[in-house]
Amino acid sequence: MKLAQSLALLVATVLTIPSALANFHVAKGAATNPDGHRYFVACPSDAYGCECLHGLVKGAAIPKTIRDGDIDSLNLPNFFKTSPRNKFCGQDEVDFYRRSNGNWEFFIHNGNGKAQGTCYPAKKGIRTTCTEGSTKYNFDDQLVCFGALCGGQ
């Protein structure tokens, strides 16, 4: 019984950790114009904002997640990686694997196979809106990531 209570307390603690303490985030983005693409992007917490989300300053696109259609119909695949075109936190590529508990572990691509940390589903309703000309881009926080990347321990 004590083990179950301890696990419940641990889960409650992790779920209440402010996302501001995260090392980085993975967000879902969409242009508001009818033919705009929807995609995912990873951004370090210290650069989380329009410059990273839309301009990819310090951030990295998640290739093969670009789709047309409603932003709500776009979901992260069970495996994804950052684009090698944009170094992300000093790494050419970072691999993400969804685990059976609903969280993602992340690894350095072609690294030593040791998980560098964990990403947790973000609190719903956290949206950042960026504007370029007459087009608005909405970004919804999807994952909040903690670990040895982007300045983490």
pLDDT in tens, 23-43: 999 998 887 776 667 788 999
Which pLDDT belongs to residue 65? Answer: 65
Q: What is the pTM of this model?
A: 0.79
Neighbours of 48 (CB within 10 A): 21
List, for residues 62-107, the tens digit of each pLDDT value.
Answer: 876 666 555 566 778 889 999 888 889 989 999 999 999 999 999 9
Cα(98)–Cα(106) distance, rounded to whole angstroms?
9
Q: Does the pLDDT at position 1 exceed 60?
A: no
Supply the mean pLDDT for the chain: 80
